[in-house]
Amino acid sequence: MKIIYNADAITEPLTGIGRYALHLGQSLADLMKQQDSPIQSLRFFSSNRWLDDLSTATKSNQWISSLRHFVPFKHTALVRYHQMRSQQLKSLTAAMDGHLFHSPNFILMPYDGPSVATFHDLSFVHFRETQPKYRLKFLDQEIPKTLAQAQHIITPSEFVRQEIVTHYGHPASQISVTPLGVSEQFKPRNLEHCEQSLKHFGLSYRRFVLSVATNEPRKNLLRLLNAYQDLPATLKTQYPLVLVGSKGWKNNKVRKIIHQMGRKGEVICTGFVSQKQLHQLYSSAALTAFPSLYEGFGLPIIESMASGTPVLTANHSAMEEVAGGQALLINPEDTASIKWQLESALNDAKWRAKAAQAGIELAQKFTWENCARHTLTAYQSCIN
């Protein structure tokens, strides 16, 4: 099996899709080293060149991340960039036969050989009001082309698989579920091993509520903030709300509330944090709140569980599937539901301890090696 893997999604700041692309690519490279590996060749394509080492992708692709902040005509820039890298891929692969091409971030570039694309969710279909218009326009143009070109589609959950079948009429036999993994660095840690990040952000061990999400409408931070505001004052004093994540978009109202609550000491907004800090914050929180309106998987659920921290999340889409009965579920559109379950969890130390242990056991099933092996099976289906 010869594979060309598109690494463009691996750009700073690394959000869910970027981490998926990085960890899956690294796990495929690890599998190729094994004696019985079906992988004969694995090449990493990024923008306009080959990468020898996937770990350098974030630095190699830094110019892509920087460009986003300066290009005024974002849709035109996105189309031109897609055209540029498509031409480069065609040029670099002109003399290469028998290779399969995988794009881990929705959109395929034109390619003559077998092609696979990963669809992480259909948020651009169901929650269009939460997406930037330039991105929607680009996806509307390119998704039909990708579905027509791909011999196989990969999704992270059965929920997304069924959505693709229902919405696009795509054959279920051409869609594989490859559940995501969680890095071994997400693990339980005691106070001593979390002290550096706790001191940096002025927090106490197991004395805060953590939320890890990009600040954009689909992540439902507005309702989370309103629910948290309604908690008894004693709980808010004991358990400040810590928001971790990139700046995002369409969030002016959320930013104003964060500013108001921050002045009272109720909310701490860290912005994007390093992986080391993220590991320590997960391991030292009392509870992780992830009340998103829609997810194709929900990595923070598994990352928190692997870190020994119980989870509050939504009772629909892929989140309930991923939580596996080990999280506290809420109606994400009901602020009162979020508030009631937050209060219940923070007042119930016995439940938190029990849920933490159950979450650790569940998270052990989600590894990047398993994700890579399921992906290889999907590749084989594509080739066959």
- The residues near 131 (Cβ < 8 Å, ≥ 6 apart) are 123, 124
Strand pairing category for 209-212 and 241-244: parallel
Q: How confident is the model over 33-47, as pLDDT tens digits? A: 998 999 999 999 987
pTM recorded for the entire structure: 0.90
pLDDT, mean of residues 120-143: 91
Based on the number of CB atoms within 10 Å of its own CB, is 65 exposed (0-12), middle (13-18) or buried (19 or more)? middle
Q: How confident is the model over 154-168, as pLDDT tens digits? A: 999 999 999 999 999
First-to-last alpha carbon distance for the chain, in angstroms, is 11
Boundaries of every domain in the chain: 2-181+367-383, 191-363
Scored b (16 or more CB within 10 A) or e, 289-308 reads bbbbbbbbbbbbbbbbbbbb
**pLDDT value at residue 254:** 85
CATH of 2-181+367-383, one of 3.30.70.260, 3.30.450.20, 3.40.50.2000, 3.50.50.60: 3.40.50.2000
For residue 62, pLDDT over 80 is answered with no
Q: How confident is the model over 188-199, as pLDDT tens digits? A: 999 999 999 999
Provide the residue type at 39 as one letter.
I
**pLDDT value at residue 76:** 76
CATH dotted code for 191-363: 3.40.50.2000
Contact between 296 and 319 under an 8 Å Cβ cutoff? The reply is no
Q: How confident is the model over 299-313, as pLDDT tens digits? A: 999 999 999 999 999
| Cα 227 versus chain centre, distance | 24
Topology agreement, domain 2-181+367-383 and domain 191-363: yes
**pLDDT value at residue 67:** 52
Task: Say which residue, 101 or 246, is predicted with more confidence.
Answer: 101
Q: How far is CA 86 from CA 82, 92, 155, in A?
A: 6, 10, 23
Task: Return the minimum-mean-pLDDT range out of 109-123, 178-192, 224-238, 258-272.
Answer: 258-272
For residue 365, pLDDT over 90 is answered with yes
Beta bridge mates, 309: none
> Closest by alpha carbon to 92, among 31, 129, 50?
50
